[in-house]
Structures are given as structure tokens and as C-alpha cells.
Structure 1
Amino acid sequence: MRVPHTPHTFPAFPIYSSAFVSDNQLVLGGGGGVSKSGIKNKLRLFTVKDDRSVELVDEYELAKGEDNPMSMAAHPDGKNLVCGVNSALESLQKGVNENCRSFSIENGKLSLTRTRGTISVSDDDDYQKVTVFSPDGTLVAVAGCNTLQVLSYPSLTPIASPVQTEKEIYDAAFSKSQLIIATTANLQVYNLPSAEKTKPSPTKGKKKGKQKSDSSSSVQLSLDRTIEVPESLGGSAGNTFRAVRFHPQDDGILYTALNTIPKRTRSKSTPKQAFVCKWNTESWTVAKTRKIGDRSLTCFTVSPDGKFLGYGSSDLSIGLLDAVTLNPAASILKAHEFSVTTIAFSPSSKLLVSGSADYSIRVASIPEVTGSNWGFMMFILFAILVLFIAFAAQKLLA
């Protein structure tokens, strides 16, 4: 499948996170981080047009010394988003890190609405690397390297005590009743508490500014099961879950992206390999597996209509898989000069945007023809071929 695509470059703006808040509104997060590079850290709001051109609408410049937005997620209402930004060093030294930040988008303007500290200030290298909303938008999960909190939205109040993991957290995903945390070693499946248990108690406080990282809630997320890396992909200690996503319309289907290190042989060492797995969450078994390539996957997502899987690779390419068969649907080689840092579908699943620290994004149009349509077309062609062979055989026998 041919995918039309258009690159866009933004000088002095390395990109690390992205989210569509509506079909034609895209937010990008990026900057130079806490280094004294002179590159400012910002959120930028763009209009994305039908011809894949982009137009800057607004930008929100973060305070001096604060980090760049390393992860973000758009609320289903199309008017709000949450992102992760570490506070400046001066605040960290005072024991304050308002890393979780909620923004509203009204009349083409980005406005900060709330902040919450969820990451310990004792680790200078920790940051909010995961931000994901529940399907109904009432909860948001945010995670650093080894700590994840589930917050009520829009209050950003914790609904349960933080989850601590031994291995590093790479991703998380909500279904209607469960939360899955992808660590480097395994998937941890948690049952979400009932709505009654998660109702925040009335509190008096400011919408902005310092808030207690109150993990005093007595509610605990219940661990349902732990899923190890499939044995079919080898037992190497270097195998890691890179991403996890539920099918948007079917909680019985789960997708994972894995980076594996094959067992050593007497010959030259085998490079890392990337796989995408489709899981049945009723039996927690792998239904399908697809090898993507011999380089690690850096980002992964599912289209809102559930038809495609999008990925970015350390080989600088981006690609699409059919969500049913996991067959390759399209790929763009050398989409960026550096590794792909973020990838996002528009709400209508008509656009795919990838971003990189090379100061660029690439906007791709997704044709209406889906992988399942291709399968149907192949069936028709096969049927025609069979009829043609049968007709030719009858002619020979006559």
C-alpha cells in the first residue's frame, strides 16, 4: 500500500512527544532539555491540513530550567492533554517536582490547568516517560522509571497507592477494567478498583502549584497476573517489552512490541530483533507474532479505528501493520535522520505523524483501503485464477 507522506522541519526544536487532540490539531513537545544548549523547551499546537501541511497556531514556553515534555496523551474530549515535564533544579532541590501537567486547549491557546508531583526528587535521572488515559478519560496513568501512579482526571488526585516495579517501566495501557504495565522483563496485569473506591475525598487546594504527592490512599491496585516474554522469542535476559496497547474496540485483543536479543552462536553475534505480538486476553496466549526487523522498535501505537498498528524503528523507518493479520501494510524508509521518538494517529485514523530529535516530523496519509480489504481482494483474485485454470483444463480435455 502506497502511503503519501510529507516531512516538516522545525529548527531548534528536537521532538520527543506528540498527540492529536482533534483530527486537525496536533500538539508536539520538545526542546533542549535541562542542558544549557539555548534550545527552549516548549509545547507547540499545530493545525494539520488535508494536504498534510502544518501551521503553527500557538506555543507554550516552559519555565527556564524545566525539562522538555517527554511524554503526553490527549484526553478523549479533544480539549485537554496531560504531559510530563520535570521541574527546574531549584525546585527539585527543595523537594518539589510538579512533573505531571494538565493543559486545556481553547480558542487555539494552550493553558496550564493543573500540576501534580508523582516522581521522587531523589533520582535526578527519573522523568515521566509514560502518560496514558483510560478509554473513558476518567483516569490517567503516569510513570517514571520504576513507579506508576493512577490519577483521577481532571483533579489529578491519586486513586490508589503507587505501583513500584523492580524492572524499568516502558509503557502502560488501560482496558475498561484493567491496567497493564509493560516493564523490561514482563507484563503486569492489574485490576482497577471500582468507581466507588476511587472517588476522591473532598479537599481544599489550589489548581496550580505545590500539591502533596499524596500516596496516602489505602486503596491498592490488585495484581491479577504477570506475563513473561513468550518462550517462542527466546529466553535471553535482554528481551524486553517495549510497548503495550489494547485494541480500541475489543479488550480481548492486546498488542505488544518486543525487542529481543537472540542467543549467541559460534558465529558472529546476532543483532537485536523486533517483534509485534497479538494476544488473546481471555487465555493470555499469543495468537500471532510478526518479526519487524533486525533493529529495535522505539515507539508503537494502534489506530483509533483498530485497523492498523504503527511503529517507529531505530533503523530510522516507520511502518504500518494490518491489525488483524499483522501483515506489513506500508513502510517509509529513512523517515528521519535520528531514531523515531514519537508516533501518533489522528482520531479519525486518516493521518499518522512521527517525530524525532532531528527537529522533524513526517505526516502520512492513510488510504481508506485497509488490510482486511486487501485480504478480500486477494481472495477474489485467487477465485478468478482457479476459475481460469478450470476453464483452461476443460479446453484441453475437449
Structure 2
Amino acid sequence: MRVQHTAHPLSSFPVYSCAFLSNDELVLGGGGGQSRSGVKNKLRLYKVASHTSIEQLNELELDKGEDLPMSMAAWPATKQLVCGINSAEEALRAGANQNCRRFAVKDNTLTFETSTSTLTVDPEDDDFQKVTVISPDGAFVVVAGKRDMTLLQFPSLEPVADTVHLEKGEIYDAAFSPTHLVLVTTVNLLVYTLPAPKPEGSSEKAAGKQRASALELVQTVDRPELPGKDAGSSFRAAKFHPQNPNVLYTVINTVPPRTRTKHSPRKAFICKWDTSKWKVTKTRQVSDKGLTCFDVSANGKFVAYGTGDYTLGILDTQALAPLLTILKAHELPPTIVRFNPTSDMLVSGSADNTIRLVSVPENLAAASWSSWIIVIVTLLVILFAILAQQMHQATY
């Protein structure tokens, strides 16, 4: 089955984050960062009519000296989004980094609403809010830098638990189930119990202060053993199956072993876990380069990923079987990949100033299996024809 997809150039706009506010409303975050490149840091709102048609509706330029939006999560019900944006260098030196910011879209216009500080960043360091994830019920948002994670109330952005600080490893992602929060670090998965929702009728600020306490760590999950030889591996991302909280998908990148002649390829794996036992049930190697971004569709059918060799791919969630591969989807490694709420469109973005929109048919998995069946049947027909010819020649 031929899947339709189109690349869209964005003038002077390297893309690093994105979120869908509805099936056809897309917010992109990007820019040149805090470097003096001359590329402005912005949020942009687009109308996405199809894989071939996008229309910019609004643009919000950030203040001079501030960083670009490096991570983003949206809550479509209220058209609000939370972004990770470091403050300007002067504020960082004063310890006043308003890195976690809430925006809203009203009348096709992006507006700033509020912000809070969860990361103290040294200007000489490269730390930033790389993780921003809203819980499935919209009650919480988790934000994290390299070693510090904070759970906040959404939409108030009031802290509901003490900040978790890592002594080893680095944070790369986080994922919510209805009852737990999984913090993805390079060395393990840390599983925390979610606190109870805020009391009905209480003020947001009072409720946040009342519940601020240490999160309960209930499980530490080590990296699984992977096929082949490698010099080590690290978790990079995780997503729960949207309809089954006992299923978790993780991305694991491996470090190639050193040899005297050459380096082995750096492999990337997607693993499917049974979280009732914390056991891997399926593993799929998807690339000889590291995975750079990852998402699971809201209908629970598809896993999408981008790799360091500029490839964009889709797997089915049951067997992790390949359904679609787009080579050279970008000129630089994809930085983001995201399904829209109805799972019929996929967007990928890159620092190469482009996004790619992919139309995802609902029967993509069935069509892909049909294609494989046709190939297998064709090969069997050819094989039987060869055998018949050989038998005929042997007879004479």
C-alpha cells in the first residue's frame, strides 16, 4: 500500500518540539537557541488540512536571549500547552529560570499564560527542560532536565511532589499510566506511584502545597539483555499503550563494541514490556543508528520513530512488525515525531527547517500484511514452477 507523505520547508525555522491541539491544529517550537545565529526562537500555530496542505495561522516570538522551546505537550480539551524554555542568560545567572511555561490558543492566537521554575541552570551548562509530558487524565504534567524531575499539577503548574534528583544516569523521557509515572533514565526505569488527585473544591495553590512530598518509588527496572554484542545500552524513551496500561514500549540505543579494525554499527531497539511482571515480551531492532524520537498513536495501533540516519518508520504495536519506512525523510536527524489525536496523520520535524506530514490509513497494518502475503505467495509460485521444471527435465 502506498502511503502519501509530503515534506514542507519552513524558512529559517529549525524544529525541535511539536504538539497537536486538535486533529488539524499543530503547534511547532523551534529556532536558533541562545546562540547568536540570528534565527529567532518562536512558537508557530499551523492549520493542517492534509499531508499536502499547511497554513500558518499565528506566530509567537520569544524574548531576546531566551532559549527555544525544546519540549512540548498539549491538552486539546482546553487548547493549552506546556513548553520547556530556558530564560535569558541574565536570569539564569540570577537563579531565576522560568523554564516551564503554559500557553493557550484562543481565536487562532498563541498567548502566554503563566510560568514556573523547576530547573536552576548554569549558563555554562547545557541543561534544559527536555521532558514535558501531560498525564492521560490531564491532572499532572511532569517536567525534567538532565538530572532533575518535577511533578506538577496541571494546569496550575503547582508542585505536587518534591523534585527527584538523579545521582547517576541522565533523564531522557517520562510516561504516565493511570496510576504510575515511569521516569526514563539512561541506566534504568524508575516507577513511581502517582499521588491522589487534589481535593475537590480546594484552591490549586493550597492543594499543591498540601501534597508536596516525596514520590513513592515502587520499582526500579534495569536494562534488558538485547540480541547481538554491544558495549552497553541506554534507555531513551517510553510510551504506554493508550488502551492497556500493562503494555509499555521503550526505545533502547546500544553503544557499539570497539575493535581494532572498525566500529560495529550502533543499533536501536524498540521493546514491548508486560508491566505486570516487568518483562520484555517482544524486541525489534529498527536501525543501525540511534533512535532520536518516538511516539505511539492514540488508537493504540502504531509506533512511529525517527533515526540518526534520517529515516522515519512506523511499526504495528502488536508484533512490532514494520509497516512503513521513509528513507531520507529529512536532511538532518528527526527531532520530533507525533501522531494527531485521531491517529490518521503523523508529523516529523528536524533542525533542517522542514516538517514531513504522513497520511496514515487506518488499515495500514492490514494492507502491509496483505502485501507480505502477496510476496510470499508469489515466491511460492516461482519455487513450485522451478521444481516442476526440474522434475520435467529429470524425467527426460
Confirm or deny a common fold (TM above 0.5): yes
Displacement after TM superposition at 1:233 (Å): 4.5
Q: Which residue of 2 aligns with 1:104?
A: 104
Matched, 1:184 2:186: yes
Residue by residue, what CA displacement relative to the aligned partner does 1:19-43 show, whole Å, maximum 9, x if unpaired? 1110010000000111111111000
Q: How does 1:191-340 map to 2 (within 5 A)?
A: 191-196=193-198, 203=205, 218-233=212-227, 238-264=232-258, 268-340=262-334
Contact 2:121 2:128 in 1 (8 A): no
Q: Which residue of 2 aligns with 1:64?
A: 64
Moved more, 325-334 or 193-202: 193-202
One-letter amino acid matched to 2:268: A
Q: How does 1:21-36 map to 2 (within 5 A)?
A: 21-36=21-36
Matched, 1:359 2:353: yes
Contact 1:256 1:276 in 2 (8 A): yes
Matched, 1:155 2:149: no
Give the one of 332, 350, 359 matched to 2:344. Answer: 350
Residue by residue, what CA displacement relative to the aligned partner does 1:75-125 show, whole Å, maximum 9, x if unpaired? 141511111100111211222111101111111011111101110134642
CA distance 1:372–1:247, change in 2 (3 Å): farther
Contact 2:296 2:304 in 1 (8 A): yes
Q: Secondary structure at the match of 1:157?
A: coil
Q: What TM-score do the two structures reach when normalised by structure 2?
A: 0.89
Q: Which residue of 2 aligns with 1:87?
A: 87
Matched residues in 2 for 1:334 and 1:351: separation? 19
Matched residues in 2 for 1:200 and 1:161: separation? 20
Contact 1:65 1:87 in 2 (8 A): yes
Matched residues in 2 for 1:22 and 1:56: separation? 15
Matched residues in 2 for 1:307 and 1:292: separation? 17
Residue by residue, what CA displacement relative to the aligned partner does 1:215-248 show, whole Å, maximum 9, x if unpaired? 9965211111111111234785641111100001
Contact 2:156 2:204 in 1 (8 A): no
Moved more, 171-180 or 365-374: 365-374
Q: Secondary structure at the match of 2:226?
A: helix
One-letter amino acid matched to 1:44: R
Q: Secondary structure at the match of 1:250?
A: coil
Displacement after TM superposition at 1:370 (Å): 3.4
Q: Which residue of 1 aligns with 2:50?
A: 50
Q: Secondary structure at the match of 1:135?
A: coil
Matched residues in 1 for 2:67 and 2:231: separation? 32
Q: Which residue of 1 aligns with 2:135?
A: 134
Q: Secondary structure at the match of 1:220?
A: coil
One-letter amino acid matched to 1:169: I
Matched residues in 2 for 1:26 and 1:108: separation? 11
Matched residues in 2 for 1:276 and 1:248: separation? 17
Contact 1:307 1:370 in 2 (8 A): no
Q: Which residue of 2 aligns with 1:9?
A: 9
Displacement after TM superposition at 1:197 (Å): 7.9
Matched residues in 1 for 2:301 and 2:328: separation? 24
Matched residues in 1 for 2:357 and 2:365: separation? 20
Contact 2:69 2:85 in 1 (8 A): yes
Q: Which residue of 1 aligns with 2:172?
A: 170
Matched residues in 2 for 1:238 and 1:197: separation? 45
Matched residues in 1 for 2:200 and 2:159: separation? 8
Displacement after TM superposition at 1:52 (Å): 2.9
Residue by residue, what CA displacement relative to the aligned partner does 1:360-386 show, whole Å, maximum 9, x if unpaired? 000010012132565588789999x99
Moved more, 220-229 or 312-321: 220-229
Contact 1:234 1:262 in 2 (8 A): no
Matched residues in 1 for 2:357 and 2:155: separation? 30
Matched residues in 2 for 1:242 and 1:350: separation? 25
Matched residues in 1 for 2:362 and 2:237: separation? 26
One-letter amino acid matched to 2:142: A
Give ranges in structure 2 of 5+ residues lacking alignment. 385-396
Matched residues in 2 for 1:150 and 1:36: separation? 33
Moved more, 147-156 or 44-53: 44-53
Displacement after TM superposition at 1:194 (Å): 1.8
CA distance 1:160–1:237, change in 2 (3 Å): farther
Contact 1:262 1:272 in 2 (8 A): yes
Aligned length: 379
Displacement after TM superposition at 1:346 (Å): 0.7
